[in-house]
Chain A
Amino acid sequence: MYLNIKATKNNTFDAIVVGSGMTGGFAAKELTEKGLNVLMIERGREIKHPQDYDTAMKQPWEVKHRGKVTAHSAEELWANKRFGNLANDESGPFFTNDKDNPYIEKRPFDWIRAYHTGGKSMHWGRQSYRFNKEDFEANAKEGIGIDWPIRYDDLAPWYTYVEKFVGVSGQKEGLDVLPDGHFLPAMPLFAPEVHFKKMMLEKFNRPVTVGRVANLSQPQEWHTKLGRASCQYRNKCVRGCPYGAYYSSLSGAIPAANLTKRLSMLHDTIVAEILYDEQKQRATGVRVINQITNQVEEYFAKIIFLNAGAMNTAALMLNSKSNRFQNGLGNDSDQVGRNIMDHHLGVGATATVEGFLDDYVYGQRPNALYIPRFRNWGNDKQSYLRGFGYQGGASREGWSRGVNADGFGGDFKQSLTKPGQWTIGFGGFGEVLPNPENRMYLDPTRKDQWGVPMIVFDAAFGENEIAMRKDIMNSAMEMMDAAGFKNIAGYNRPEVHLGLGIHEMGTARMGRDAKTSVLNAFNQVHSVKNVFVTDGAAMTSSSCVNPSITYMALTARAADYAVKALKKREL
């Protein structure tokens, strides 16, 4: 551990950041760069970038089960398994063992966790889209949930700031529905996708663009300085990138924070409680448990950033009880743990594409095509609220087409060495509305192996989501048909629950009124001014775009505010 000697003497720092993932890393970078001594506390094991990505360079034959999940791993990582192949030999060791870290499902909830340095930023799909103006206003206009206390323009400069640092490859399109950002060169669309794009404009006036993805298509000097290099197009990002070519807390924020020499880090250290001083009416620090030795310790700071991931952040607040806060720190509104949102997925369509048989691709694009929201946008009006975007793409079939095709023998073998036909598929990410009845809370009696109360999930899709799902599937099929694709097959997986989108959020929402929200416009807990929540818990609505870039923009903005307030002695 790189503990700052001077500060450890009395376990006191300027700031404590809980969690080293996507948002914790960014908070630590901002706060250290602005001159604070920061202690970042991570509950999971240490992963050193890039040397600990031990499966990253393995060739296909060096991976024992060749991408499949073993029965043993499926049992240990039972929640992860619901997502698909995350629990396989290549990436399984980087996800959390659900058997050792169980949670309770009053109603089913698919909770995918990665407890280690960098959290889920090591595994994310890197899709990075700004919320649009409407996303911040829709709640107020439609009378859903509560109003955001900020608008697009408040966040826009911070989006730019984050995009620059992170490095997002993308195409400017000039669309209101999907605001442009600061982009590195875009990745190519493939031949059938170009055709599809043209047809969608012609037939539906719907734009299609290439995914906006946090992979360095052209590193800038500030990326290189951190040891990050150009993407090599292997598309094995989920194993960790040896080149630091995609953004993660490990490849970007933590190295940047380390350059300041003001970052101290603890691993294997679970933050179990936020300490609150009733006299001073502020948080003073945290109580932690070492996950290996069970040793308990306290650390202190002027400000505390909660970035444990939306569900764990809410759990931590709920577990921090005092005379003043008997229902959990900052929980006067009883909104902590409520309004769980996610993006629902597992619904879309696939098809085969005729022709384009002399078109092929060299390299593996770690990215997809993107169809921005078109529902309830402009003149479109549906029976449900909000909308969805699609992600997917076209590829030529490989050998695996042989599995379900007729044939065996020498000619069959030979035929599988050539590319097959093109196929295309895309699935929707749909917006989920905030609903206070969709919630998580702490079990009153059951505790985990460290004596911390277990999380109970009690949440499900509502009518709006279910209606939207049908449309996601049908519209995908309709668009494929309009593009002339064949063998169109829609899917709407019934076993998908909230959580599977891995965009869980909303459990300590921002708002204008302390009676109905937990955080103010700068992610500050209304009633405990020196505690900031800047992970997904802060979200007041979910939009339908992948949220991490928004979390990071909120984090950078809140850190800026916090440091200024500290300097003005307001905190």
Chain B
Amino acid sequence: MNRRDVIKNVALMLGGAFSAPTLMAMNHWESPTKSYPSVATFNLTQTQRNIVAEIAELILPKTTAPNDASPGAKDVGVPAFIEMMMKDCYLQPEQMSFIEGLEKMEQVKFLELNDNERKGILKYLEQETKAEMKARQMKQTKMGDNDDHEDIKKVAKGLPFWRLIKELTLLGYFTSEEGIKASFEYVQIPGKVENIKLKPNQKSYAY
């Protein structure tokens, strides 16, 4: 899929809600980005922090419906968690790809877009990432064949930005105290293991 196809798909998905500013923003998508920082200096600017927070909150927003009131990513400290994790647990390829993703967001002026437009961008990102992950996976399966040992060293490109921020948002949220308790039935010491029947609307157990 090329970029035009992805945009077309996303526009279809959103029911035509792909606004002119979003489309315009898309034109800056592939403009060259700034030089990459080195690992030692993985540091976000305030603008980038705001973008991380807004994206995290769009992924897991605060909800207030009576049957589903739960905190959002921002409420439980996910943005700071993401930055800490990117710094502590990832190496240069991922850190670079994360920064590169944020720079793209800056270029499309993400923070100036309205809610719908932001969602459009994320949908686009999602589709683009999906194609990229699929390509990576195919490469991996191929390498899994044992005949292709040499290839493994070539996978130097970090995981895509969307994959990183989504995983870390989910991880940070669903393992936070408020996130766990609002989302699941948290059982610290089950005391037994048994097969049960699921009750309607039953939440997952978390341990």
Contacts and interface: CB of A to CB of B under 8 A. Distances in A.
B163 interface: yes
Contacts of B180: 60-61
A188 interface: yes
Contacts of A413: 59-61, 63, 70, 183
Contacts of A399: 170, 174, 183, 204
Contact of B194 (A70, A232, A361): A361
A363 B122 CA distance: 36
Interface string B70-97: 1000000000000001001111000000
Interface stretch (A335-343, A404-412, A554-562): A404-412
B106 interface: no
A91 to B, nearest CB: 15
B53 to A, nearest CB: 14
A402 B174 CA distance: 11
Interface string B123-147: 0001000100100000001011110
B120 interface: no
B144 A359 contact: no
A470 B147 CA distance: 11
Nearest to A409: B61
Nearest to B178: A61
Interface in B161-207: 163, 166-167, 170-172, 174-177, 180, 183-184, 187-198, 201-207
Nearest to A235: B207
B203 A71 contact: no
A359 B141 CA distance: 32
Contacts of A361: 193-196
Contacts of A59: 177, 188
Contact of A419 (B172, B191, B198): B198
Interface stretch (A121-129, A265-273, A436-444, A491-499): A491-499
Say whether chain A's binding surface is mostly helix, strand, loop, or mixed.
loop
Contacts of B58: 408-409
B193 to A, nearest CB: 3
B152 interface: yes
A352 B44 CA distance: 39
A357 to B, nearest CB: 7
Given A399-B170, A494-B149, A495-B152, A408 B192 contact: no
A244 B157 CA distance: 44
Interface residues of A, number: 56
Contacts of A67: 175
Interface residues of B, number: 58
Interface string A390-414: 0000001011101110101110111
Contact of B143 (A187, A358, A466, A494): A494
A444 to B, nearest CB: 30
Contact of B189 (A232, A412, A470): A232
A210 to B, nearest CB: 11
A71 B88 contact: yes
Contacts, number: 154
Interface in A537-560: none
A93 to B, nearest CB: 16
Nearest to B39: A71
Nearest to A357: B198
B202 A418 contact: yes
B68 interface: yes
Interface in A80-127: none
Interface in B90-111: 90-91
B148 interface: yes
Contacts of A71: 88-91
A52 to B, nearest CB: 20
B196 A362 contact: yes
Nearest to A461: B146
Contacts of A362: 187, 190, 192-194, 196, 205
Interface string A492-530: 111100000000000000000000000000000000000
A360 B152 contact: no
A238 interface: no
A363 B59 contact: no
Contacts of A70: 88-89
A361 B196 CA distance: 5
Contact of A364 (B60, B148, B198, B207): B207
A339 B72 CA distance: 57
Given A232-B190, A406-B130, A409-B61, A60 B204 contact: no
B122 A408 contact: yes
Contact of A417 (B89, B119, B204, B207): B204
A359 B198 contact: yes
Contacts of B177: 59, 61
A524 B60 CA distance: 63
14 contacts: A61-B177, A68-B89, A70-B89, A233-B191, A359-B198, A362-B194, A363-B194, A400-B171, A402-B170, A403-B166, A409-B119, A418-B202, A489-B141, A494-B146
A417 B203 contact: yes
Contact of A65 (B61, B88, B91, B146): B88
A45 interface: no
A234 interface: yes
A418 B119 CA distance: 24
A234 B204 contact: no
A86 to B, nearest CB: 15
A363 B193 contact: yes
A250 B191 CA distance: 22
A408 B202 contact: no
Nearest to B73: A413
Contacts of B191: 232-233, 363
